[in-house]
Amino acid sequence: MQYRRLGRAGLKVSELSFGSWVTYANQVDTSLARELMSTAYDHGVNFFDNAEVYAGGQSEVVMGEALKALCWPRLDYVISTKLYWGISEGLGAINGENTLNRKYLVSAIDGSLQRLQLDYVDLLYCHRPDPETPIEETVHALHDIIVQGKALYWGTSEWSADEIRAAHDVADKHGWHKPVVEQPQYHLFHRARVEREYARLYEDIGIGLTTWSPLASGLLTGKYKGGIPKDSRGALPGMAFLRDGLTDKERNAAVTKLEELAHDLGGSVAQLAIAWVNKNPRVSSVILGASKPAQLEENLKASALTPKLSPEVLARIDELTLSLSR
């Protein structure tokens, strides 16, 4: 396992990390979460990703219980969570839903820390941009959260390049803590934002990337070539929005050809897809998801496959996938 700086920040994270979207509290209980996190940790993973909204807060609860049971030294691991969607009901949702206003952020970080049973998170992401709240208000509140010791760094998730630059410039103007990382979707069929839209940000402001969905929600495992398996993520309640993409004929045909290439390299198509993301020098960490330890162990082998992605192999991957990406 290699470790990379989070953009220009001094914090180092494992090149492959473990995230809890979908799995925790939906497919995984505390005991299995502990086993999955322990498996990742034993393979050198030091970065674990979460969010307030995952399973309505229960994902943070499950991770918090697992961390308590594992008793790792706090310096050994990096925890992130994300705020924006909110989990409040009734009147609380007025100022606590789909927002990055100061009142919500100050309250929500306390809730996340309580559920995670932590004194601080290492990374706090703004899960989406908020066009209704002045960017000065959001950045100032995040700066204050860091000053209070409740988070060490902050970043964004699925923000446009212009929005990230605006937040950075406001922070720079006032001497506030700047965003150091963006968390975008990035995989072989979803490339434009990372490779084109953000291109200037890497050098101009030194933003790092922790990317999600390297397997395109499972499409790049090959298991959807014959439809939606009953025990798959695509079959879960609430995942219907993924199904058209998972059964796309052209992309599944490309996956078949990628499987042949992966075999020639001594790996699986899933490992190849993860390694391809990992090969991008702008990526600080590739966030993996898994509901079984064996599945996680297989995906973590992508770290060893990454050096095998020569310029010729990368060109062949582009030949198979670039025209199908967006």
Phi and psi at residue 249, to the nearest 5°? -70, -45
Distance CA 283, CA 210 (A): 6
The amino acid at residue 263 is H
Place of tokens 């970065």: 47
Distance CA 111, CA 126 (A): 15
Catalytic residue list = 54
Cα pseudo-dihedral 102, 133, 93, 113, rounded to 10? -40
Are the beta carbons of 166 and 137 closer than 8 angstroms?
no
Both tokens assigned to 221: 């495992």
Place of tokens 């606590």: 96
Are the beta carbons of 116 and 129 closer than 8 angstroms?
no
Are the beta carbons of 191 and 280 closer than 8 angstroms?
no
Both tokens assigned to 175: 């001497």
What is the SS3 assignment for 29-42?
CHHHHHHHHHHHHH
